[in-house]
Structure 1
Amino acid sequence: MSEHFPGPGEPYDDPVRRPGGPQHPAVGGPGEPPWDWRPAGSAQQGDFPSSPPADRTDGRGDDTLSFPPGPWQQQPLRPPMPPGYGPGGPGGAGPSSRVPWLPVALMCLLLGLGGGAGGALLVAAIDDDASPASRPTTSTTPTPAAPGPVAGGQVRSPVVAVADAVLPSVVSLQVRGPDAQVSGSGFVYDDGGHVVTNNHVIEPAADDGEITVSLSDGREVGAQIVGRSPSYDLAVIKLDDFSGLEPSALGMSAEVQVGQSVVAIGSPLGLNATVTSGIISATDRPVTAGGKGETSYINALQTDAAINPGNSGGPLVDLQGRVIGVNSAIATVGQSASEQSGNIGVGFSIPIDQVVSTVKQLIETGQAEYPVIGAQVSVATTSDGARILEVEAGSPAEEAGLENGDVITKVNGEVVHDGVELIVEIRSFSPGETVTFDVKRSGQNDNLDVVLGKQVG
């Protein structure tokens, strides 16, 4: 079969044709094939001829692949081998039976990287859609969590130390009388077995009753009333057995500052040895308290430490474990005696300085004296001062020149807004002391000095 090779300038037909497709234009120069996928200078046996194939005689049309005969038809198409590699290794000649390793390695590397990335994405997508139960689990050793925060900072809470120091000296009281049964709290005052509590706690047993005291070591012992003061809502009882008890440490309420931390200890609702903490919310807070038919006027410490029924008589202590007050009253939102009362963050304690003065009298004489001026005052809530309703004959008030209708606005320079504040302020002094009143009378201001009298109660 003869073959025709195009001469210079003659067109060269693309040996690859597709059914109905256009023929590729010639891209080579004279004597060059239209395309060559091999690297330059890599010609070897099996290269494409530089002439077009002759017309086929096997009956197939031009729409099929048509290649010139040659040894390359004996083996699959593949990239050419690098120079110097042939059959039998480097420098070999003849048809190659090996696949060149460098191009193949590069292609495998690229395919491997792409496949790995695609596989990772596929696994991640499947893993995200899988339920937790279907995911593989890995057994690991749990790591213990760091200790959580405690009250007072990163170290041991100061309240813990206060509770350890004070709880052994705090007691719980069960009081039974002919008409009532109440519970309360108290604390050991001295090494003679005296316990301080509120008067309204032991009041039911004042005439014919029984007091049972639960100690911190679990013992229950009886107690007797030594003395009580309804005016200050304080009382002292003596334990029948006080062996092994330690008295409480006492502080000074005059040094108490608003905002300082405090701890309240007692038996709210019968829950013995309950510890709560808070701050001093205010000082010199005029408060009325007391039991049935008796009213106490207290120049109190106010605290937000939780105080509930049953806390009465228990100690309010500072962070050094020193008693600075006796818990006595709480403010409630109840409007009647039948409504449930409880802590709303406003509790009141009798300052320890007043407690010490009164308790000393109760232990020594069984009763306590409190200062008076010998005049009746209005306890209606006002804002312009305490109005004198009646001055008793021969009283300190009369001797000082007070008259009915006078309005007292200050006591030793401290403003008073109503009769309750006047009584509380007066009871912060002792009988026999002299105080100065600022008085309004018929639109005129005057100052009067009054020597305080005394009364037992």
Structure 2
Amino acid sequence: MPIRWYGPSLILLVTVVTVMLMGPGIARSIAWNHSEANIQQVRQELLESPSLITLSESFSKVSTVVEPSVVHVQTFAPSARSGGGFFSRFDPLDPLGNGSGWVYAHTDRDTGETKNYILTNHHVVASATRISVRFADGSEHTARLVNSDELTDVAVLEVPDEFLHPAAISPEPVKKGQIVFAFGSPFRFDFSVSQGIVSASGRQLDIGNSGKYEDFIQTDAAINPGNSGGPLTDIYGRVVGMNTAIASSRTNANDPGGFMGLGFAIPVQMAVDVATRIIEEGDVRRGYLGVLIRDLEPALAESFGYTGKGVLIEHPIGDGPADEAGLLPGDIITHIQDMAVGDVDDLRYTVAGFAPGASIKVTTVRGGQEINVTVTLDDLENQAVVTDLPRRLRHSPAITVQDDRLRELGIGRIADFTLDDARDNNLEPFAGVIVVDARMGSIAARQRVFPQSVITHVGDAPVTTTSELLEAMELYPESLPLRFTVLSWDANLGEMISRFALLEVEPD
């Protein structure tokens, strides 16, 4: 039988079969070797990278210079087991809460002397009977509360130790994207530091009540329960803010919550300004202008024929500083003491910076003309709240609205409100058109034109009867949203207050 030679064909077949059987392992081996070589190369490059070494060392140096200025704050309150009475003073105190703080060097504006204090949040020390602060070196002191300000959430503490390391203060406001470091004791992990960036500034959170002064720095540096009161610093270790609040994952009252990438801090200049007033004056007393105001959105500004920035006065509170100085509804405040005010918060912060009794120049635009008025501020804390019930006003007989435009706005019935009606209701004399029925959820209702509201003007035209109201609406430019001046009873103030309602029928 002759021998058959397969030659190259057989060799090729064997090779193919071998690769098919062993190929996956060889391929993985080759890929692993390539990946491992790349890892080792990059790892060596990282170890030798001067920029990363410098960055890491810089971050460590920030911690080195800031940490001696940071304190852990622990508060105590009378034990729930205390029986009260004379001997309760000897009862033990239970831990109340934990927070953070930082050493602030205050230079007296009159004497030029410098003294160290500790700044923290009002909510950290509120309700505490005893306050203890501990420094990073382990030293611990009982602190005295100098005073605190709930409206800005700033508190000032004093300790007997003179050998403190005050933190440096940044002279510049923060910028979006700026690297920052949050120091404090989150979840009792004392003297921790986290790093992030400034996400935004000028944030309003409406914490607690609307009377607070909020202008928060938003950061993604981890801020957790226990960080409150600690410093937020820049890359030079200078304080730019004081940690205050977080957007928490808290689900119930017993859940401490946790960081969700949203932390907030009080700008350091606000904290220092408040601390200065507490230290030098004993407390924070704020000037009171006595106006109900609103932001001047473009459509509302256009209805007044105004194109600039400012704050609209809706109502000067009766016998208040603005009322006595002659400011009127519809005046647009543009400056306080030549300082521009762009929105309601600007105005509130600016006025609050003046002490009660100060006379300030208020620049307004009225009817297209700039007017300067001198106002002597009252004391914000002296403004009593009137406890009164909502009133149902007696008025002339109502008529059912036939006007299509009013009906589209959701106003069903109206009536004349005469001078005699005002007198019968024991009100200051005025006349207008009272809204008797307004549909829930309507355009009018969304602009707070409710039943018992009295319309006194359409645009700048006064209206005292239903016929004058309808006539003024006919003459009002159809290209502009309808602007009503509306009076309504305010139970807190105990008077009729004016507002501006901008009403626009939504297109189909």
Amino acid at match of 2:362: T
Within 1, Cα distance between the matches of 2:203 and 2:363? 20
1:210 shift after superposition: 1.0
Q: Determine the C-alpha separation between the residues in 2 that align with 1:323 and 1:346.
A: 19
Matched residue, 1:318: 234
Deviation, structure 1 residue 447: 4.1
Aligned length: 329
Length-normalised TM-score, structure 2: 0.52
Q: CA, structure 1 residues 338+415, in 2 after alignment: closer, same or farther (shift >3 Å)?
A: farther
Indicate yes or no: 2:166 matched with 1:166.
no
Residues 451 and 376 from structure 1, CA distance in 2 versus in 1: closer, same or farther, beyond 3 angstroms?
Answer: closer
Partner of 1:199: 122
Q: 2:176 maps to which residue? A: 258
What is the Cα deviation at residue 194 of structure 1?
1.6
**Greater per-residue strand proportion:** 2
1:189 aligns with 2:104: yes
Q: Pick which of 119-128 and 217-226 moved more.
A: 119-128
Higher relative contact order (CA 8 A, sep 6+): 1
Deviation at 1:391, TM superposition (A): 2.7
The answer for the alignment partner of 1:17 in structure 2 is: none
Distance in structure 1 (CA, Å) of the matches to 2:26 and 2:261: 49
Separation in structure 2 between the aligned mates of residue 176 and residue 321 of structure 1, nearest angstrom: 31
Q: Structure 1 or 2: larger helix share?
A: 2
Amino acid at match of 1:402: L
Partner Cα distance (1:455, 1:184) in 2? 32
Report the AA paired with residue 119 of structure 2.
V
Superposed counterparts of 1:427-438, under 5 Å: 427=352, 432=358, 434=360, 436-438=362-364
User: For 1:297-324, what per-residue CA distance to the aligned partner results, in whole angstroms no more than 9, with x for missing partners?
Assistant: 1333333333333222111111111011
Asked if the contact 1:224/1:240 (under 8 Å) is kept, the reply is no
1:391 to 317, 327, 333: 317
Q: Does 1:364 align with 2:285?
A: no
The match for 1:34 is none
Q: What residue is the counterpart of 1:300 in the other structure?
A: 216
Q: Structure 1 residues 277 and 143, CA, compared in 2 at 3 Å: closer, same or farther?
A: closer
Q: Distance in 1 between matches of 2:376 and 2:15?
A: 94
Output aligned runs, 1:29-428, within 5 Å: 123-128=18-23, 146=43, 154-155=52-53, 156-157=55-56, 158-178=58-78, 181-190=96-105, 192-205=115-128, 209-241=129-161, 243=163, 245-253=164-172, 255-286=173-204, 288-289=206-207, 295-331=211-247, 342-370=258-286, 372-375=287-290, 377=292, 385=311, 387-389=313-315, 391=317, 393=319, 395=321, 397-403=322-328, 405-406=329-330, 408=332, 410-411=334-335, 412-416=339-343, 418=344, 422-427=347-352
Aligned to 2:110: none
Q: CA 1:130–1:198 in structure 2 vs 1: closer, same or farther (change >3 Å)?
A: closer
Q: Describe the SS at the equivalent of 1:353.
A: helix
Q: Distance in 2 between matches of 1:276 and 1:127?
A: 50
Identity in percent? 30
Shift of 1:278: 2.6
Q: Which residue of 1 aligns with 2:377?
A: 453
Q: For the residues of structure 1 that align with 2:238 and 2:165, how far apart are their CA atoms?
A: 13
Say which SS state the counterpart of residue 204 (structure 1) adopts: coil
Query: Cα deviation per residue 1:57-88 (whole Å; 9 max; x = unaligned)?
Result: xxxxxxxxxxxxxxxxxxxxxxxxxxxxxxxx
Tell me the distance in 1 between the aligned counterparts of 2:169 and 2:42: 41
State the Cα distance separating 1:122 from its structure 2 match: 5.3
How many Å separate the matches in 2 of 1:194 and 1:273? 19
Give structure 1 stretches of 5+ with no counterpart: 1-109, 133-137
Q: 2: distance between equivalents of 1:382 and 1:342?
A: 37
The alignment partner of 1:297 has SS state of: coil
Q: Secondary structure at the match of 1:160?
A: helix
Letter in 1 for 2:67: L
Structure-1-length-normalised TM-score: 0.57
Letter in 1 for 2:327: L
- Answer whether contact 1:251 1:322 (CA < 8 A) is retained: yes
Q: Distance in 1 between matches of 2:350 and 2:253?
A: 28
Q: Matches of 1:299 and 1:450 in 2, distance apart? A: 28
Give 1:128 deviation, angstroms.
3.0
Distance 1:337 1:213 in 2: 26
1:299 and 1:425 in contact (8 A); partners too: no
Please tell me whether the aligned partners of residues 289 and 296 of structure 1 are also in contact (alpha carbons under 8 angstroms): yes
Distance 2:184 2:150 in 1: 21
Q: CA-atom RMSD, angstroms? A: 4.6
Q: CA shift at 1:429, angstroms?
A: 6.1
Query: Quick one: structure 1 residues 398 and 258, their matched pair in 2 at CA, closer, same or farther if it must change by over 3 Å?
Result: same
Distance in 2 (CA, whole Å) between partners of 1:388 and 1:268 is 44
1:248 CA displacement:
0.6
Report the CA distance between 1:287 and its aligned residue. Answer: 5.1
